Amino acid sequence: MRFRFFILISFLFSITSVFGQIKNPVRFNLKINSLSNGEYEAVLAASIEPGWHIYSKDLPADSGIPTEMKLSGTNIIPVGKFYEKGNKKSEFSEAFGAQLVYYSGSASFVQKFKLKNPGQAAKVSAEITYQSCDDKVCLAPNTLEFEKDIAGSTAPILPQKADKIGQSDSIIPNETSIAEPTTVALPNISTVSTPEVSKELRRAAIQAKSPLTTCGQVAQKMEENYWEYLPLGFLGGLIALLTPCVYPMIPLTVSYFTKGVGARKGKRDAILYGLFILVIFVLLSVPFHIIDGIAGNIFNEISTNVWLNIAFFIVFLYFAGSFFGYYDISLPSSFANKSAKAEDTGGLIGVFFMALTLVIVSFSCTGPILGSLLGSAVSGSSNVPLLLTMALGGFGLAWALVFGLLALFPQTLKSLPKSGGWMNTLKVVLGFLELGLALKFLSKADLVSKTFLLKRELFLVIWILISITMVAYIFGLIRFPHDDKGNKISPVRKAFGALGLLWIVYLVQGLFPSERPKLQALSGILPPINISYFKKESDGVLGFATPHDYFEALVLAKKENKPILIDFTGYGCENCRKMEEFVWQEPDVLPILQNEIILASLYVDDKEALPAAEQTKVDLGDGQLKKIKTIGDKWSMFQQINFNNNSQPHYVLLTPDEKVINYPISGYMAKEEFLNFLRCGIDYYKKSK
């Protein structure tokens, strides 16, 4: 039910949302009131712009995002549950089929609490999660955290002191708050110092924009080629057209437009029909642009979240079961019925709703393919919304061209293959591909959680078993629910079966250990080469251990008088794996990394919690705090504040006294480009010593 609800909400956003200035229509502030009975109340007061509203905490299940308030801190005990105050309104929602309760103008959310020890200081941390909507669009759910200090049961409330980014003062934590993370200004995020180096995250010596040398180069501008996703989406659209949900509708739809009175007008409407299909698929990407504008780091968080990757794994298994024919995935029938009724309007509006009806009723086949695009985009790009726009645009373009061209040349309908069992065969093969893609997300969850249970060889064995089953199906040795019995295996189907056998042979060679990595075409999809039954994880991808801590690398660099190569990477970074296997392992690159530099691989998606003393909070202004709780948070912030960059892989060469030698570089690149970057920095450093 929740999966269907998610699909419905995403689709509604797609149709009703428009691009515009990013809004922040709700403002909260935290007040602490002292009550007469020795209790306190934390009040989060919301000021809501006209035309906008936020939901109550009391909503029917699966009907919206209720507002939630949480209270924590030191020396406090929450009393009862939080409650809300304000001018509550109620309205029936046809989309949800439920009565929704919300607030407009203003609202307050209140949680009472006591002090464990009234004579001691306390810190109150209030967290609010809410969603704001107007009559056209809902913004992505937002979570804010606020803090205030109090100094006992009879003392007045102390004003909160929090620094904005770029200021120099910091909040000094209470001595009683040892287990709580401290709050500091961004320039002074720090951990316990050692005699060798200071461990302050903002490094004064690092000046990324002013390197010691350029070697005739200019600062790299990372521009991802998103146009390459247009043909990939186009291919996905063509495949979707061949599925049983869509293909039989092609001749019926085109004939409807080209027969009868006004054939000329019918052809025009058919072309508009195809264009409207293109527009609808492009609109599907609009909500992701809105979400990205409000919470720009959300897709990185999704791609590296263990539980969300496990959820993707389960969803892809669900997709596979649908393609195998055990059940259908569809939008609510009422949604399709309303769209179909709107077709009677006639004119352009009627044609638009005909296109919308096609998209809805074909969802059982296109949904898993579109879900695959979404899952791959979230884990494979630094700009998920733009990637999705290009991919979905290509997908819709394939449909628009097919329907439009067939309307212009209806005689070609006679040359189209007849509907038959081959469409279900294609659909089942897509199911096997979904199974293979599902394993990728399980592998990423395994890597990010650092359990390392899904070894490279085990991953390959599962893929080989899936491929063997797929080949057996293609040759007719096994059947699924919607397969026709007694059909002969066509020559084309046998040819695809032979390709499947070659694919299995290709995968099998990766099971055997070798000095150089095999299956390089699958780099970034398979687990790294050191996540293997034949190697130790601690040996790293190069066969030797490298520091995963910048400050450890800095100590080594000072000791050995070598430059540092910072490798900002991630367990879920596919381009990082490609660099390691395609470029780092090359015989003219590997000796440089082993002998001439100190390599520091900093994982920005490492979810391991930092020690309590190293956990911090950064004030982002406007009452919002950024928590630095994990190792990945630490190195991600280190990269952003020193190099104004958050892409991976990202490479920086530093001297032992932390001077940037040459311009940093990012992304997957040819071996020659990476070698030039290394040689430029290392040669300059050797000459300057």
pLDDT above 60 (res 79): yes
- Beta strands, E only, 491-630: 564-569, 598-603, 616-621, 624-628
Q: Which two tokens stand for residue 440?
A: 């990728």
- The distance from CA 488 to its chain's CA centroid, rounded to whole angstroms, is 44
> Residue 227 carries which DSSP code?
G
Domains of the chain: 23-160 (2.60.40.1250), 226-417 (no CATH), 537-688 (3.40.30.10)
Poorest-confidence range of 11-20, 380-389, 589-598?
Answer: 11-20
Tell me how crowded residue 397 is: count the other CB atoms within 10 A of its CB.
21
The position carrying tokens 């085109």 is 254
Q: Span 92-104, mean pLDDT?
A: 72
Reference 345, options 335, 357, 333; nearest CA is: 357
The position carrying tokens 């993370």 is 181
pLDDT value, residue 498: 94
pLDDT above 90 (res 466): yes
Q: Span 161-174, mean pLDDT?
A: 32
Question: Model confidence over 198-232: pLDDT tens digits?
Answer: 678 888 888 888 888 887 665 555 455 567 778 88
| Nearest-angstrom CA–CA distance, 335 and 361 | 10
* 547 compared with 14, residue with greater pLDDT: 547
Amino acid, single-letter form, for residue 71: L
- The distance from CA 538 to its chain's CA centroid, rounded to whole angstroms, is 28
Q: Is the pTM of this model over 0.85?
A: no
* 403 compared with 71, residue with greater pLDDT: 71
Q: Pairing relation of β-strands 76-93 and 98-115?
A: antiparallel
| Nearest-angstrom CA–CA distance, 233 and 434 | 16
Question: Model confidence over 335-365: pLDDT tens digits?
Answer: 556 555 555 555 678 778 777 877 777 776 7
pLDDT band at 5; cut points 50, 70, 90: very low
Q: Span 412-430, mean pLDDT?
A: 79
Reference 612, options 625, 627, 624; nearest CA is: 627
| Nearest-angstrom CA–CA distance, 572 and 604 | 10
Q: Span 432-458, mean pLDDT?
A: 87
pLDDT value, residue 225: 58
Per-position b or e across 435-457, b if 16+ CB within 10 A of its CB? bbbbbbbbbbbbbbbeeeebbbb
| Nearest-angstrom CA–CA distance, 66 and 44 | 15
SS3 527: coil
| Nearest-angstrom CA–CA distance, 84 and 69 | 10
Q: Span 247-273, mean pLDDT?
A: 69
Poorest-confidence range of 18-27, 378-387, 455-464?
Answer: 18-27
pLDDT value, residue 164: 35
* 644 compared with 680, residue with greater pLDDT: 680
Question: Model confidence over 495-529: pLDDT tens digits?
Answer: 999 999 999 999 998 898 776 677 877 876 788 87
| Nearest-angstrom CA–CA distance, 633 and 616 | 10
For residue 507, give every residue at least 6 positions away whose Cβ sits within 8 Å of its Cβ, in sequence order, or none.
460, 463, 464, 467, 519
pLDDT value, residue 504: 94
| Nearest-angstrom CA–CA distance, 651 and 661 | 12
pLDDT above 90 (res 564): yes
8 Å CB contact between 598 and 564: yes
The position carrying tokens 């642009």 is 289
pLDDT value, residue 108: 93
Question: Model confidence over 652-674: pLDDT tens digits?
Answer: 999 999 999 998 998 888 889 99
pLDDT band at 244; cut points 50, 70, 90: confident
Q: Span 127-142, mean pLDDT?
A: 68
pLDDT band at 17; cut points 50, 70, 90: very low
| Nearest-angstrom CA–CA distance, 543 and 522 | 20
| Nearest-angstrom CA–CA distance, 303 and 387 | 15
40 sits in which H/E element: strand 40-48
pLDDT value, residue 653: 94
pLDDT value, residue 141: 59
pLDDT above 50 (res 50): yes
pLDDT band at 579; cut points 50, 70, 90: confident
| Nearest-angstrom CA–CA distance, 78 and 72 | 8
pLDDT value, residue 15: 34
Proportion of the chain above pLDDT 70, given as a percent: 73
For residue 481, give every residue at least 6 positions away whose Cβ sits within 8 Å of its Cβ, in sequence order, or none.
324, 325, 326
Q: Span 306-330, mean pLDDT?
A: 83
Q: DSSP labels for 133-192?
A: E-SS-BPPPEEEEEEEEE-SSSSPEEPP--PPTT----PPPPTT-TTSPEEE-GGG----
Q: Span 176-199, mean pLDDT?
A: 40
Positive or negative torsion for Cα 265, 270, 273, 275: negative
pLDDT above 90 (res 296): no
Poorest-confidence range of 7-16, 247-256, 393-402?
Answer: 7-16
Q: Which two tokens stand for residue 433?
A: 């591909």
pLDDT above 80 (res 473): yes
Q: Span 135-155, mean pLDDT?
A: 65
